[in-house]
Chain A
């Protein structure tokens, strides 16, 4: 069993900060941001306190997923440079404690969402947690190179949950936000895995560069980039985004495509030891194109969601270029 082999010597007593680290705060911040965008874009009148509670529930639910992931994946986390310092593989937190934290926070976040907002949002939140912890972590991650493609659905759902929390419905525009994150995930994550594939190979995780090779991964990154950029323009044509959104999505999309083409034409991922340190951004020359796309993909997603958020907060008139 994955978790049975995870325990190493107890290096230091668990501090409360270690339990916070189990919740993957950096991932949580992106989830909160996209969920907030969905909640605001819904345009439904929602009590500010209940809106804040909805975002809190989504954040805690995402954190619970992270804790369950760290409990189950402690064995492979221990073999990878990027993850070996996490609380469970480092021996600071017992696997059982991480599991208990994940289960308790999952239950509390879903129940509170149901009681404070509505049960559609609670059901979507429960589905997201289960999908990430069971379908992605326990099944897909160790069994298929499509792991992050299918598993990416868990990361794509928060705006839909936010939308449902505010309005009690999930219209097409909510699913459009979901689709943007869903199709953004493969180029984002595979760009990173191109220069961290040694770690995944060592841990036996069938990440795309390990299974299909660097050239195939770069080609698939380009294909997904060609899909995601037009998709990012779509909200401007469905009444969700305005002129500012269209400008940001188009300009950023051009840069995204340019970086994806440069990565496709590069040799990133073909030589070992492309990272200088354990960090995600300090790489050697051969991996710079992959690093650049990885870094820009984060900025691009943040920019388009921030623009949507700003437009809706300022009640900008949507640019309705096509009849609805």
Chain B
């Protein structure tokens, strides 16, 4: 078995950028769901009916 071909610098840089963007997107999504839950729960708690 031969070693897999290593990434070029440009490929590695592009991959790192994509990974950071994806991580930020996921973190933002989690925060968004958390905030939406707080707002919806708060509204329902204030007006239960």
Select which of A13, A49, A56, A112 is within 8 A of B39 by beta carbon.
A49
Separation of A16 and B18 alpha carbons in the complex (Å): 5
Query: What mask results when residues 114 to 145 of chain A are scored 1 for a CB within 8 Å of chain B, else 0?
Result: 01100000000000000000000000000000
Q: Does A316 contact B (CB under 8 A)?
A: no
Contact with B along A35-79 (1 / 0, CB 8 A): 000000000000101100100100000000000000000000000
Distance between Cα atoms of A116 and B35 in the complex (Å): 10
CB-nearest residue of chain A relative to B40? Answer: A116
In this complex, which of A12, A13, A108, A115 has the most chain B Cβ atoms within 10 angstroms of its Cβ? A13
- Say which residue of B10, B21, B36, B43 sits within 8 Å of A13 (CB atoms): B10
Partner of A50, one of B11, B21, B39: B39
Within A250-304, which residues are at the interface with B (CB < 8 Å)?
none
Give chain B nearest CB distance to A153 CB in angstroms: 29
User: Across the interface, which residues of B come within 8 angstroms of A112, CB to CB?
Assistant: 32-33, 36
Among candidates B17, B29, B32, B39, residue contacting A16 with C-beta atoms closer than 8 Å: B17
CA distance A306 to B43 in the complex (A): 31
* B1 contacts A by Cβ under 8 Å: no
Report which of A16, A19, A50, A108 forms a contact with B36, defined as CB distance below 8 A.
Answer: A50
- How many chain A residues touch B (CB < 8 A): the figure is 15
Chain B residue with Cβ nearest A13: B14
- DSSP class of A's interface residues: helix, strand, loop or mixed? helix
Please judge, given known A-B contacts A16-B21, A19-B21, A116-B40, whether A53 and B32 are in contact too, CB under 8 Å. Answer: yes
Q: Are B14 and A14 in contact (CB under 8 A)?
A: yes
A26 on the B face (CB < 8 A): no
Q: Which residues of A contact B20 (CB under 8 A)?
A: 16
Q: Judge whether A116 and B36 touch: CB under 8 Å.
A: yes
**A324 interface residue, CB < 8 Å from B?**
no
Give the complex CA separation of A13 and B10 in angstroms.
Answer: 7
Q: Is the CB of A49 within 8 A of B18?
A: no
Residue from the list B14, B36, B39, B43 in contact with A15, Cβ < 8 A: B14
Question: Closest 6 interchain pairs by CB?
Answer: A13-B14, A16-B21, A13-B11, A116-B36, A15-B14, A16-B17
Name 25 A/B residue pairs within 8 A (Cβ), A-sorted: A12-B10, A12-B14, A13-B10, A13-B11, A13-B14, A13-B15, A14-B14, A14-B18, A15-B17, A16-B17, A16-B18, A16-B20, A19-B18, A19-B21, A47-B39, A49-B35, A50-B36, A50-B39, A50-B40, A53-B32, A56-B32, A112-B33, A112-B36, A115-B40, A116-B36
Interface residues of A (CB under 8 A from B): 12-16, 19, 47, 49-50, 53, 56, 108, 112, 115-116
